[in-house]
Amino acid sequence: MEQTMRNFFLFLSKNRGLTKMAKRYGLRFGASRFVAGETVELASEVIKDLNNKGLSVTIDYLGEFVDNEKEANEMADNCIVAIKEIGRRGLDSQLSLKMTSMGLDINESVVMNNMRRILEAAKENQVFVTIDMEDFARCGITIDIFKKLKSEYDNIGTVIQAYLYRTEQDIKDLNEYSPNLRLVKGAYKESPEVAFPEKKDVDDNYKKIIKMHLLNGNYTAVATHDDVIIEYTKKLVKEYNIPNDQFEFQMLFGIRNERQLELAKEGYKMRVYVPYGTDWYGYFMRRLAERPANVAFVLKGIFK
């Protein structure tokens, strides 16, 4: 039943018609629990509040199904506005973004132009930028773009997904770039031809790549809400005397808030992924797909 629900919400997340409708009607039906607001001003207030609680942040201006250069350029413009807001207010926040929102499905020159504009602004404001990973079809080209940009800029990282078979080799290939990587399990529906279909195999591979990347001496963001993975990471860094400034934990805004604060109080860097913007529908559906408890929360909010 749980897998059926997951597949259903992942299917809904790719519906362009529902995405347009969601933009029109705003943050309703519980989405505001997971999305900080529709404007950077609202999001910056959320960031400030989280910072005051001892939490770091990465902010993401949401956008999906960008298929023309004008819209891609506008998405990049909004990212630059967010970077300047972070710098102006002295917020403890990074920036996350997706290659498709920068024009990946149009052509590479659009993406590279927008990314260089963003990274220049980020360098001026001392903001780190992470390229989010998307579905398997875009994985290879995203990593290729990251490699090109990493040779030009230091303030850039990307995301690696544990559920893909290719991931262990990607970790090995990327090591020469001394990359800052966010390691995740993966939230897209993929074929068993390219991804582990069983949760245990995903978890085992996740532990493997966390250990590989940390022992390579690279900065590692362990993005998970799974206590088993969190405890595994704690024991690993203790066993190998890995300093706390070589890794951090990351969680999504609106999920396990108490646990986030606990980790921060224990002395670990805890970063919260805070999305904002009007194009929240696809992100919201993927959050519902991840945990049945999220669906129950939303239904409760609707009936209230």
Distance CA 249, CA 46 (A): 19
Backbone torsions φ then ψ of 302, nearest 5 degrees: -65, -45
Among candidate residues 182, 271, 286, 287, the one labeled active-site is: 182
Beta bridge partners of 274: 59
Q: For residue 132, indicate whether it is catalytic.
A: yes
The token pair at 1 is 């039943």
Among residues 60, 132, 203, 279, the one annotated as catalytic is: 132
Instruction: Tell me whether residue 243 is exposed, middle or buried, using C-beta atoms within 10 angstroms of its C-beta: 0 to 12, 13 to 18, 19 or more.
Output: exposed
89 is catalytic: no
Annotate 163-191 with three-state secondary structure.
CECCHHHHHHHHHHHCCCEEEECCCCCCC
Q: Dihedral sign, CA of 166, 272, 117, 32?
A: positive
DSSP 95-156: EEEETGGGTTTT-HHHHHHHHHHHHHHHHHTT--EEEE---GGGHHHHHHHHHHHHTT-SSE
Tell me the C-alpha distance between 85 and 89, whole Å. Answer: 6
What's phi and psi for 195, nearest 5 deg? Answer: -140, 150
144 Cβ partners below 8 Å, 6+ apart? none
Catalytic residues: 132, 182
